Amino acid sequence: MKPSINPNISIIGVAIDLGAGTPGVSLGPSAIRYAGVIERLTNIGYNVKDEGDILANRPISPETDGVKLKFLDEIARVNTELCNKVSRVMEEGRFPLVLGGDHSIAIGTIAGVAQHKKNLGVIWFDAHGDINTEETSPSGNIHGMPVAVSLGFGHERLTSIGGSFRKLKPENLVYVGCRDLDPGERKVLKELGITVFTMHEIDRYGMTYVIEKAIKIAGDGTDGIHVSFDLDSLDPVYAQGTGTRVLGGLTYREANLALEMVALTGKVVSAEFVEVNPLIDNNNSTAKTAVILMGSLMGEWLI
């Protein structure tokens, strides 16, 4: 076991579920801490600093005048605070490890990292595309929009977080584990030429082939790799406690292998793990799995 590219980790919790359709992921950061994330990372050899949680308030109504997006004002506020905190952590020379919370927090995480890494690569583990906008979203839930926002598409209140520039380039983004895309997402993914490794490719070619290709896309010629890991990328057998479960996902070992291989690149500069919902979990098992996956990403070797 050895620390990865940066021996100093700052854990940032974001206690928000306003971007999701199912309440409870606001408890995710606490569940992950109870599952032993600090102890595990410390045992690997990291210097771990817990930065505490960014807390979201729940407005009386999800509506914002004139827009379809639910809880826009509060989600924009939380992500602005997260962007600033991630940027400060990186200024201090530390690795930001963000604990969600729903996946809307990727808006703030990536915006914060982009203050320091202008040509960022991203590996996005998810059952879903998260590349909807107000016009294409069936629900108006912002946790389905962070990729679009990071690419510069969407409401100005969100795309301007961290500065009015595109935080992510399509050619530096790769998806792993997708199996549920909305029609508008399929269209824009094809138009932008973004690489999507669905479960079909993983089944057909194996995780080793897929993740080698993903690392090349996100790592070659970039300033580093950000890993955004939604627990719903796993099959529900391994992640019961997440709100948008889709059958036929990654196995426990496939996910660990993927993150172990990403760790070996030495190029990871930031990460987030999201959508842990202890309200619908069984004995905090999904948070425990998340902690094991974090260990794999951060270079935890058996021998």
Q: Among this protein's residues, is 200 annotated catalytic?
A: no
Cβ atoms within 10 Å, residue 219: 19
Q: Which of 74, 232, 254, 281 is catalytic?
A: 232
From 53, 81, 102, 126, active-site residue: 126
Q: What is the DSSP-derived secondary structure letter of residue 170?
A: G
Residues in Cβ contact with 288 at an 8 Å cutoff, skipping those fewer than 6 apart: 35, 36
* 201 contacts: CB under 8 Å, gap ≥ 6: 210
Please state the φ and ψ torsions of residue 210, each to the nearest 5 degrees. -65, -45
Active site residue 180: no
Is 203 annotated as catalytic?
A: no
- Which of 102, 128, 185, 235 is an active site residue? 128
Catalytic residue among 17, 53, 81, 230: 230
65 catalytically annotated: no
Which residue in 130, 185, 281, 300 is the catalytic one?
A: 130
| Residue in 17, 103, 226, 254 annotated catalytic | 103
* 231-236 long-range Cβ contacts below 8 angstroms, 24+ apart: 231/273, 231/274, 231/275, 231/276, 231/286, 231/289, 231/290, 232/126, 232/127, 232/128, 232/275, 233/125, 233/126, 233/127, 233/176, 233/177, 234/289
According to DSSP, the β-strands at 173-178 and 121-125 are parallel
Contact 240, 280 (CB under 8 A): yes
From CA 197, how far away is CA 3, in angstroms rounded?
28
- Whole-angstrom CA distances from 247 to 82, 207, 219 are 32, 18, 30
- Of the residues 74, 81, 102, 143, which is catalytic? 143
Rounded Cα distance between 1 and 4, Å, is: 9
DSSP letter string over 52-88? EEEE----S-S-BTTB--TTHHHHHHHHHHHHHHHHH
Catalytic residues: 103, 126, 128, 130, 143, 230, 232, 275
